[in-house]
Amino acid sequence: MLYPNIIYIDALFIINLYVNFFLIKACGAFLHRKISPARCVLGAASGGLSSLVILLPSLPLLLNTTIRLGIGSLLVLIVFGRGKFFKNALVFFVINVIFAGVMLALSLFASPLGMIYNNGTVYFDISFLALLVFTAAAYFLIRVLRYFLDVKFNADRIYPVIFEYNGESRVLSAFADSGNTLTDFFTGRPVIICDKSACAGLFPEFSVSSLELVKGLRLLPYSTINGSGIIPVFKPDSVKIEQKEVDVLLGISNEDINKNGVNAIFNPKLLF
């Protein structure tokens, strides 16, 4: 016999841990951020624990919103760190609002047996297999949407990238390629890969072929389908893509990428 108004704490935690895990993965997909399994699980667990607010009486909208924002902000800090916090939080909250809206609509119009929606938290009697299928399907749709958002920035369009370093300004001709996911693991900054000729003279003593480093440069490991290696990177004083200021590193490629007037590659996420 089913008791729709009974909430089982273990089921509540597991359901919301699982849902939060996929919300975090969806957020990472939109941001093109690779999230370590440990951070993802820790963030999902904190979200699962926060689901206990469903046990409280219905809270006033302002108080409930404040609590949800506080919990969400903590989760974003756990998962993504402090870098680009507001951007990460905005994407995470938008995805959560969409999910909460779907759950609210489901509770109002479909009224699944045993479903309880209170204080922005959902609980319902559902088999693990059904939960797995529905959540995986939602995540797949988000990845498909992300893919189509990316492919519209095709290589046929060349973007001007202006960077300044030590008082010198240079212009790169770059294209957006979602295949460039290189990110600095220390700071979380994306890396724009540019041809070595584009940085000629910035570091007179530097030799790309010998990887001889000078002040202002450091080495960053990378891996591709063709292998792995290390690339010298540096932090410019400023970088703009079509007048939009971006917080990135520049990586000096040892391979010649200066083709068809293009001498740099960046990830499309920098355009958002």
**Of residues 51 and 250, which shows the higher confidence score?**
250
Residue 177 pLDDT greater than 70, yes or no: yes
Q: Mean pLDDT, to the nearest integer, of 69-84? A: 84
Whether residue 37 has pLDDT greater than 70:
yes
Q: What is the mean pLDDT of residues 90-115?
A: 65
Task: Determine the pLDDT at residue 12.
Answer: 72
193: pLDDT strictly greater than 50: yes
Give me the pLDDT at residue 1, please.
39
pLDDT band of residue 191 (cuts 50, 70, 90) is very high
pLDDT value at residue 248? 92
Residue 154 corresponds to which tokens in the numbers above? 């095709």
> Among residues of the chain, what percentage have pLDDT more than 70?
68
Residue 162 — pLDDT band, cuts 50, 70, 90?
A: very high
Confidence label for 269 from pLDDT (cuts 50, 70 and 90): confident
Read off the pTM: 0.49
